[in-house]
Chain A
Amino acid sequence: MNAIEVNGLRKEFKAYSSRPGLSGAFRDLFTRNYKIVPAVNDINFTVKQGEMVGYIGENGAGKSTTIKMLTGILTPTSGQVMVNGMNPHKERERFVQTIGVVFGQRSQLWWDIAVQESFRLLKKVYKVSDADYNEHMDHVIKTLDIEPLLDKPVRKLSLGQRMRCELAAALIHNPPLLFLDEPTIGLDVLVKLKIREFLKEINEKYNTTILLTTHDLTDIEALCERVIMLDEGNIIYDGALRSLKEKWGEGKEISFEFLERAELARLQTLTEDLGAKWEMDEKDQIFTALTGDDDEVISQVIARTVAAYKVRDVKINEPSTEEIIRNIYEKGMMHHG
């Protein structure tokens, strides 16, 4: 069964522009300029039950808008959305019973009351029985290690503590589908790791589908096999994270740290015929050559460089996912779909 089915989904917004200056503002009083901007541009995808999918893109690419349409917050301009077999906006109150949502930037919990009071209220809101609650939440509370936080008011929690509580709150009714919008934003590494562990666990235990948007690609690498990549409202990649790497992660990076002053221009001319491209990190005096995957070329580049300068350190790296993705965006990515 598919947890999410999206067909030709589109959302347009009216973008108002204001005219400059005082006289412009006066004219804006009566008529305002606007144009219609598609935030999400006829996209299609499906997510199977139990999948963990990373939904990525730059700011303003349309991630949040999509998530909001999938959760029933926004009504699509056109196209079909089927989530958990329902149309989110049409049967909103019945539908939201089957999803959990965490907005990293926005709290689900009541600011002034103790965390467990919030939980108790949400338990009532989602009509969860005592037995279900105890069985399920005991486990969640233990795994997220929030037992000691339960009697504190939310406003006294640190960001990391709060985020763990938010996650627990989103799971009170044990939804088969979980939306996470920037769940790890601003968190330290240990909390991030804990949250990732936890997400993996509930995915395995309950076959929970997870759709995750994040700026932190290490989250995606740790959790998701599949990524959907968005640019200007269009899906520009939908597939396995691994093949994304294979497809666009061509080439290697060789970084050198020299014992003496080196010149970028000289290194460039030295390896011109091999097709290596040099970059320099000013601060640490680290020089990086970008080459193809050919082992012969790589060893040639190293050999010539070492002959020219004394070397303190050499590293050969594959480009990280982040670099690959940055690369894709920089190139503009024409391979839509």
Chain B
Amino acid sequence: MFYVRMFFQYVAQYMKTRLEYRADLVVEIFSDLLFQAVNLIFILVVFAHTDFLNGWNRDEIIFIYGFFLVPYALFSAFFNIWDFNERYIVKGEMDRILTRPIHSLFQIILERMELESLFGAITGLAVMFYAGSRLGLEVNWYDPLLFIVLVIGGVLVYAGIFVMIACISFWADARTSIMPMMYNIGNYGRYPVDIYNKVIRFVLTWVLPFAFVGVYPAAFFLGRDEWYVYSFLTPFMGLAFFGLSVYIWNEGVKRYRGAGN
């Protein structure tokens, strides 16, 4: 309860600061849109040269991308920890975090949230509805509920992976560029993983399970029943990965060395 209250306190605070710089807000939302547009353009251009991608048609691929955008938007809004090492470890902001009576990871989530990323979820829904209507998909009464569960699962998978990567900073004192590159890998979950070879498919399913953020859950709505097992595994993968990442985080905090050493 306390954590929910704190969450809204920080949201209110965040709105106040962000609204002071409205122009930035617009540019940032615009650049997000641009990013999403580039990915769509990629798909469109590719499908100008082919009709099927390993048995998936254009609209199915677009649908998967639309789905992917929703958990990705939520992840970007709340797990903006790609500069964790520089901001909190090197500059020593972690000291301050650790002198406050809220779980350290939660504080960082609160401090670093970027709610404007949530607009990506709207784009995602729009893209899904566009592709879905072209595919003639029907919406069942339970679909919205499942959608929410699968999206949350996807967010937790993403968050778990990135929190674990942030934790590297507690053990290694070097600045790493794994974070930005991991964003690239995260994009592979947007395509049907059966186009990749077995090793990569295995990695995207069990090691860096980005497939659970895009293609697996989306497969459910596309009626690809051969992948239903993976679709329903999504929330469990999310809980497992996120739970593990919080555990590693807590262990990492014990090894925190402080700044300037």
Q: Which residues of A contact B (CB under 8 A)?
A: 13, 16, 39, 64-65, 68, 71-75, 89, 92-94, 96-97, 99, 101, 103, 106-108, 110, 112-113, 117, 121, 124-127
Contact = CB atoms under 8 A, between A and B. Distances in A.
Nearest to A118: B13
Given A89-B254, A121-B10, A73 B98 contact: yes
Contacts of A112: 17, 20
The prevalent SS among residues of A at the interface is mixed
A103 B17 contact: no
Contacts of B254: 75, 89
Contacts of B141: none
Contacts of A13: 257, 261
B225 interface: no
Contacts of B92: 106
A110 B101 CA distance: 17
Contacts of A74: 256-258
B101 A71 contact: no
Nearest to B259: A106
Contacts of B5: 124
B102 interface: yes
20 contacts: A13-B261, A39-B261, A72-B98, A73-B99, A74-B256, A74-B257, A75-B255, A75-B256, A89-B254, A96-B100, A96-B101, A107-B96, A110-B17, A113-B13, A113-B17, A121-B13, A125-B6, A125-B101, A126-B101, A127-B2
Given A13-B257, A103-B95, A127-B2, A97 B13 contact: no
B169 to A, nearest CB: 15
A1 B101 CA distance: 24
A125 B103 CA distance: 11
Contact of A106 (B6, B9, B17, B96): B96
Interface of B: 2, 5-6, 9-10, 13, 16-17, 20, 92-96, 98-103, 173, 254-258, 261
B258 A68 contact: yes
Given A73-B256, A75-B255, A113-B13, 15 more contacts: A13-B261, A39-B261, A73-B98, A74-B256, A94-B101, A96-B98, A106-B92, A106-B95, A107-B96, A110-B17, A113-B17, A121-B9, A124-B9, A125-B100, A127-B101
Contacts of A124: 5-6, 9
Given A106-B92, A124-B5, A125-B6, A96 B103 contact: no
B112 to A, nearest CB: 12
Contacts of B16: 113, 117
A119 to B, nearest CB: 12
B167 to A, nearest CB: 15
A89 B5 CA distance: 25
Contacts of A75: 254-256
Nearest to A113: B17
B96 A93 contact: no
A65 B258 contact: yes
